Amino acid sequence: MEVLLALSIGGLVLIAATALLVTISQAWANRPATRDAFDAHVNGVAQFLTAILEEASVPPLAKNKSEPIDLRIPVGFSESEDPLVYFYLREAPPLFFSPHGKSVRVHTYLYPEESEGLSILWFSDLQELEKDDDGNLQPADEDELMKTLVSPFCKEVYYCYYGEEDADEDDIKSWEIFSDLEESERNDGYRLPAFMKLVFRWDEEDLERTISLAIERPAPSGLEEDPR
């Protein structure tokens, strides 16, 4: 009886240990795949944003000396809110789905939301548009503004500036990072940052990626700006 009892207890211990080992093995096997998927998503979003920002160009009806990247407030947004990073694309990426067919000549805004993540607001020149108070084309109604979710894991956005706005070329400059756009001292608007730092969060783990904003686009010769 004692031998049978010992064998029974040993069997139960062995079963429990085996179950624990299997559970640990499964968790360990699943963790790299899940982490790799998160890493791949973050890298993919960073590469996507970098690619479309490099394709940004000046809108056809833009004012003189316009830059490919700007700060604007889309239709339906309160004037009290900060503007969004704006740029124009001649060809929309496949991610921009429109019920009216292929999207071309699109105006886009990077729209970070704490609850939903990072989205892109956009509209096309093919829609019915009107000029706002600043002379920029906008849809007549906020409902005509398309919204495409880029990443639900992007929880924080920071804006990176190099030196003070009124600094001279010979002045010593340093990088400054802000959670909001910095107001301009030259006008009533805001300064365009040189970089945006995106913070992606999943399972209490953060990954950061820096996105460059091409403020000036030199010509291939390097002698003058390329209007594209």
Tokens of 93: 């990426």
Q: Are 193 and 179 in contact (CB under 8 A)?
A: no
Give per-residue burial for 184-213: e unless 16+ CB within 10 Å, then b: eeeeeeebbbbebbbebebeeeebebebeb
Region label for 65, one of left (φ > 0), alpha (ψ between -120 and 50) or beta (otherwise): left
pLDDT in tens, 116-135: 999 999 998 888 888 877 77
Secondary structure (3-state) at 101: coil
User: Residues near 71 by Cβ (< 8 Å), separated by ≥ 6?
Assistant: 83, 84, 85, 86, 181, 189, 190, 192
Q: What is the residue-wise DSSP string for 165-218?
A: TT--TTS---EEEESSPPBPSSSSSBPPPSEEEEEEEETTEEEEEEEE-----B
pLDDT in tens, 6-19: 555 545 544 554 45
pLDDT surpasses 60 at 172: yes
Secondary structure (3-state) at 70: strand
Tokens of 7: 């064998």
Contacts 24+ apart (CB under 8 A), 10-19: none
User: Residues near 43 by Cβ (< 8 Å), separated by ≥ 6?
Assistant: 209
pLDDT at 114: 83
pTM of the model: 0.76
Confidence band (pLDDT; 50, 70, 90) for 30? low
